[in-house]
């Protein structure tokens, strides 16, 4: 694709970026390249039949992994978002892909990483992670107090408290993007520092990524956490047959929250999202559990809500 010329001799190009998610052994994982510092991506070219086919081509070339379910995520076009000193405007069209992690031989081109390595404050399955109270809260408080006027100080702290569930506010798992962007605004992540590299001292824990790839990943997390509540997309991440406990653990991994076991199962069964296979699995540590599968007919039914999240408040 030939870059377009602007009046300021600035070039504009478009690339495609994939947020490819799988859940393996109860952990949400993202497909990465470049020593786990980038998402699969590449320029949109004239030879690509469509944006989606171009994305699939780049992912397969870079990771040797074919994509199944994909949907357009967001278009990123902020000025200087790639940190390039040249006069170049890069528009990135991102997609969310859901798949099952393959277990190939060791690869030097790509790897699967837990998304909580990049956002350790997002995993609340075992309660509020220490990073929130020990690191984020005091540093966000300092950032708020550094503001020049009282209104700005109040606004900064209020946004921090809402985003991170501080001052007795509830934690909202859907605010993953807002939390990362707030930390970026407060210059508490490496990507907020021009010219950062692998040796940059991080203000808060969390693995950085090149350009704004971590922001794009946060966008994918927020979208998926929202979508599993109204569409049955979680089944794209499940094997052909599974137990209800495996399904619950997958939903919890994505949400970063525990769900109420009985209420969760009741909701799944009430919506006829699954059907029994007549087989059982005996390696669950207790009595054999029934194996079920996703009932494909629900995709044609307008009443499907999704998995919902009957969250455990314990």
Going by their DSSP bridges, the two strands 274-281 and 4-5 should be labelled as unpaired
CA distances from 116 to 206, 263, 290 (A): 8, 26, 30
Q: What is the pLDDT of residue 94?
A: 92
69 with 160, same domain: the answer is no
Mean pLDDT across 2-23: 72
Which of 65, 93, 117 represents a domain boundary (last residue)?
Answer: 117
pLDDT at 274 > cutoff 50: yes
Which of 70, 88, 117 represents a domain boundary (last residue)?
Answer: 117
pLDDT at 227 > cutoff 60: yes
pLDDT at 49 > cutoff 80: no
Q: What is the pLDDT of residue 84?
A: 52
Q: What is the pLDDT of residue 195?
A: 62
Radius of gyration of the chain (CA): 21
Q: What is the pLDDT of residue 6?
A: 45
pLDDT digits (tens, 9 = 90+) for 65-83: 878 888 999 998 876 655 5
pLDDT at 91 > cutoff 50: yes
CATH number where 41 lies? 3.90.79.10
Q: Which is nearest to 161 in space by CA: 191, 130, 182, 188?
A: 182
Mean pLDDT rounded to a whole number for the chain: 85
Give the CA count within 13 Å in the CB-facing half-sphere of 191. 25
84 with 133, same domain: the answer is no
d(CA 196, CA 125): 32
d(CA 102, CA 215): 25
Residue 308 falls inside a structural domain: no
Could you give the number of structural domains in the chain? 3
CATH number where 251 lies? 1.10.10.10
Q: Per-residue confidence at 41, pLDDT binned at 50, 70, 90?
A: confident
pLDDT at 157 > cutoff 50: yes
pLDDT digits (tens, 9 = 90+) for 50-66: 778 888 887 888 887 87
113 with 127, same domain: the answer is no
Q: What is the pLDDT of residue 1?
A: 45
Q: What is the pLDDT of residue 10?
A: 61
Is the CB of residue 21 less than 8 Å from the CB of residue 97?
A: yes
102 with 170, same domain: the answer is no
Pick from 72-86, 125-139, 201-215, 271-285 the range whose average pLDDT is largest.
125-139
Q: What is the pLDDT of residue 184?
A: 94
90 with 156, same domain: the answer is no
102 with 133, same domain: the answer is no
Residue 39 falls inside a structural domain: yes
255 with 277, same domain: the answer is yes
3-state SS assignment for residue 98: strand
pLDDT at 5 > cutoff 70: no
62 with 107, same domain: the answer is yes
Residue 220 falls inside a structural domain: no
Q: What is the pLDDT of residue 53?
A: 81
Question: pTM for the whole thing?
Answer: 0.88
CA distances from 241 to 29, 130, 230 (A): 20, 36, 22
pLDDT at 183 > cutoff 90: yes
d(CA 72, CA 299): 19
Residue 188 falls inside a structural domain: yes
108 with 131, same domain: the answer is no
pLDDT at 257 > cutoff 90: yes
163 with 81, same domain: the answer is no
96 with 163, same domain: the answer is no
Q: Report the percent of the chain where pLDDT is more than 90.
A: 57
Q: What is the pLDDT of residue 140?
A: 97
Which of 63, 85, 117 represents a domain boundary (last residue)?
Answer: 117
Per-residue HEC secondary structure of 30-94 comes to EEEECCCCECCEEECCCCCCCHHHHHHHHHHHHHCCCCCEEEEEEEECCCCCCCCCCCEEEEEEE
Mean pLDDT across 247-272: 92
How many beta carbons lie within 10 A of that of residue 18, not counting itself? 28
Residue 290 falls inside a structural domain: yes
Residue 50 falls inside a structural domain: yes
3-state SS assignment for residue 189: coil
Q: Report the percent of the chain where pLDDT is more than 70.
A: 83
> The domain containing residue 291 runs over which residues?
231-300
Is the CB of residue 256 less than 8 Å from the CB of residue 173?
A: yes
Give the CA count within 13 Å in the CB-facing half-sphere of 24. 15
């Amino acid at each position: 694709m030939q870059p377009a010329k602007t009046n300021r001799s600035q070039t504009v190009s478009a690339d495609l970026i994939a947020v490819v998610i799988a859940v393996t052994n109860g952990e949400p994982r993202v497909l990465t390249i470049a020593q786990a510092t980038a998402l699969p991506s590449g320029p949109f070219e004239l030879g690509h039949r469509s944006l989606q086919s171009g994305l699939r081509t780049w992912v397969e070339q870079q990771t040797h992994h074919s994509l199944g379910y994909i949907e357009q995520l967001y278009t990123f076009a902020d000025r200087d978002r790639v940190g390039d000193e040249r006069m170049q405007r890069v528009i990135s069209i991102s997609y969310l892909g859901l798949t099952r992690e393959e277990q190939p031989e060791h690869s030097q081109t790509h790897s699967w990483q837990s998304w909580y390595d990049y956002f350790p404050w997002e995993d609340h399955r075992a309660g509020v992670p220490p990073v929130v109270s020990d690191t984020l809260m005091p540093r966000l408080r300092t950032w708020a107090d550094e503001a020049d006027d009282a209104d700005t100080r109040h606004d900064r702290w209020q946004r921090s408290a809402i985003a991170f569930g501080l001052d007795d506010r509830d934690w909202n798992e859907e605010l993953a993007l807002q939390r990362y962007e707030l930390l970026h605004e407060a210059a508490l992540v490496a990507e907020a520092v021009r010219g950062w590299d692998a040796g940059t001292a991080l203000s808060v824990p969390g693995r950085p990524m090149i350009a704004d790839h971590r922001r794009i990943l946060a966008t994918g997390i927020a979208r998926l956490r929202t979508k599993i509540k109204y569409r049955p997309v979680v089944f794209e991440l499940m094997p052909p047959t599974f137990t209800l406990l495996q399904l619950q653990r997958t939903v919890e991994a994505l949400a970063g929250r525990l769900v109420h076991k009985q209420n969760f199962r009741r909701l799944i069964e009430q919506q006829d999202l699954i059907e029994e296979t007549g087989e059982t699995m005996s390696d669950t540590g207790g009595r054999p559990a029934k194996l079920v599968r996703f009932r494909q007919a629900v995709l044609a039914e307008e009443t499907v809500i999704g998995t919902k999240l009957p969250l455990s408040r314990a």
